[in-house]
Structure 1
Amino acid sequence: MQERHFQPLSLMAIRPIVVQMAVALKHLKSVGIIHADLKLQNVMLVNHQQEPYRIKVIDFGLACETSAATVGSYIQSRPYRSPEIILGLPFTEAIDVWSLGNIAAYLYLGSLLYPGYTEYDMMNYIVETQGNPPEKMLNSGLKTSCFFYKEFNSTTSNWKLKTPEQFFEESGIKPTERRGRNFTSLNDLLHFQQLGAQTFTDKAAEMCDLLMFVEMVKEMLQLDPERRITPQQVLDHSFARMNHIGYLYDLSSYVKSCYQHMDICKEKSTVSSDSGTRVPRDYSRPSIYRGHRRWSLGNIAAYLYLGSLLYPGYTEYDMMNYIVETQGNPPEKMLNSGLKTSCFFYKEFNSTTSNWKLRRLNNFLKSQGLSPQREEEETYISDDLLHFQQLGAQTLQIKLQKCVIS
């Protein structure tokens, strides 16, 4: 990054790096090893001239067996340190996936996502961007009280992050703001770079790629290590496998370039250490058109038109709630057959018929333990896009009706 003067990498360049590192972590996990110091400085380009973006993971000085992981260990470089390490919790190979998520964000931003000088800075940045760690983590952390205090009221108690002034008064260490830009959500990554593509097809592919990249980063940076994506799931993710843009191969120069960049991952996938072990992967040209991707393309078209996401759901419940609010219920046959229908809908019976109804927010929270968040600036109903701009609205509506179908 220093040689590039900290200029961000393109998504097509980030993908092979992330995939190779995920293969390395998959190997380490299979033998029960935690790298424990994964950072950009420990990712080495092998021969960039002859094999662009072929990398090797180095420096296993802090590596340990998962079975020997000791709570309170001083491991991981601070900007890549996971919440469970900061809080003093038991840890697994999931801490390396957290570091990988930060590396991916670093490559995309050209700067550290969480450049904390102290662990308080780190926790402060994380909470500001992603919210508090789960209650169960805060209740069990050996170092939770270093960063949080318990706020009591008449019926409940909640953990609150200490203010910089409180932390300074207690520790004598003055928190330092080192971020170039403050993110209030990982979704802010969607608006960091402008799309460089010229044609509509390339813009659609690049936007879809960005959506999948941010989704992958969010899954790698899950605060709860039990919910964090695994190395194998990184390899199976749409961003890694490109199955979200493959159907545009013959129409988009951007997609063709993406596949060319992944040539290094075909039969020369990265090593898990310096040993040279390779794992073949299939990143060849796609041959099957995936018709169900029209939904993604329709959402991209709406994003390019609105300048913001049409359905910016933080959870699947948020997504379904927005869709139903805008387009109505999915068809009965879909609801009757869906494996997850009951997560979002319940069956309402009367004397002669039964109908699916979207669950209310409180009922969803009770069943899932999640907290849906509304992030959209505008709420739309079926034909509202016609009135968003004066020019070209009717043409857009026709295109959206063809792409975004229940």
Structure 2
Amino acid sequence: YLVVEFQNNVDSSLKLVEYVPEAWMIGLTQCLWPSVSKSKLESLRTRASTPEETWERHPVVVLSRCSDELCARRRLSRYIKDGEIESTDLDKRRRRSKTKRFIEEGNRQRKKRVESSSDNEPDSEENSPKRANLNSGLRDPPSFPCISGSTFASPSVLASASAPASASASAPVSASASVSASASVSASASTPCTLTHELSKERVPTSFSTLREEIEASEVYSQLDSSQNSEPVNTPVGSQRCTSRCSEVRMELSSFERRVLRELATIRTIVDGVARQLTETLTPRLAAEDLPFSIPVNGDAGIDQLNAWLQKKENLVKLAQQLSRLGGRTSREATRQLLRRLFDPDALAKFTFKGTKDKRRFEESAVHSLVQLALKNSNLNVTEAQVNSDIKHVLLHALDPTRKHKAKENE
């Protein structure tokens, strides 16, 4: 959108300032203006409608350039009130263009020095691969990828402006009417800077469920983290302009973005653990009097008693529901916690998965069905073969806690 001043050929002292969409401009000196009612004019400006052949053409002078209609309204109000507008985007563009030309000139001179030194000293440090990579990084200015859905503050995204002063029905809306118009205009899509500002203003969620929902929403970013490259995206010319170099660059996540994704994954893991503990606390547990034994069991008598008690399907289902809340980030970790909750190390060491002459066979025991059912009820997506593999690993390392304890005592 552009804030423009209409040039009145009849009375030069009469200044009419309005804001118009960029699509209504013909270069930077003329503007097309519709002969419509006030409400229709507001609708056309908000939607940045394409000009029609019946619209009038007026000479104008550009005063300011804005990124959205709300910004254009504010600058128009400031101009009507104070008679001037702060440093415009056009001036900032000129300063940036001068700086860019200076940098490009320096890069060209640096490139010439590198090429001349490479001809004279082929084995010098200047021609080393490390130095060459550094020079290439300095020569090429950084190019940013075109990200779908985001609109950066560019010359093509201008602020709306309404316009000319003629005695006919096409006369522009008065300044007070323009300022008092509703400001509920859809702003342009968030840029990286505005996104940071919006995040800083977000309130902290007051409920645990809201926090978990927001953390789960970060799963889409973990999918972005797993993708190495992304296809370049074509965007409308009117909303975004990219150089040919920018459109060819594939989007890659920076180190900072990858670090943010790792932090979000860590936060989500912590929240899942807290949710699991909270659910376990609020869910009624199996009463102690319902168990004819204490867990973890120890000795052959305790193992036989547990297997006999699990022969009833009702007991098996109740205990499996309780053990499914023990948690674990992986299937192996959940299996280890579950078996160590049921057996002490010495009792667990009496089992092997297939069984031997001296040890019990875990595969045909009721505890095996209990473990399979408990992991099936958990939030882990595991298969029966994977659970069997984890059980074998845990049984093989059943005495590890005892060995570690003895090692600490010997120290």
What TM bracket, shorter-length normalisation? under 0.3
More helix by share: 2
Task: Report which of the two structures shows the higher radius of gyration computed on alpha carbons.
Answer: 2
Length-normalised TM-score, structure 2: 0.25
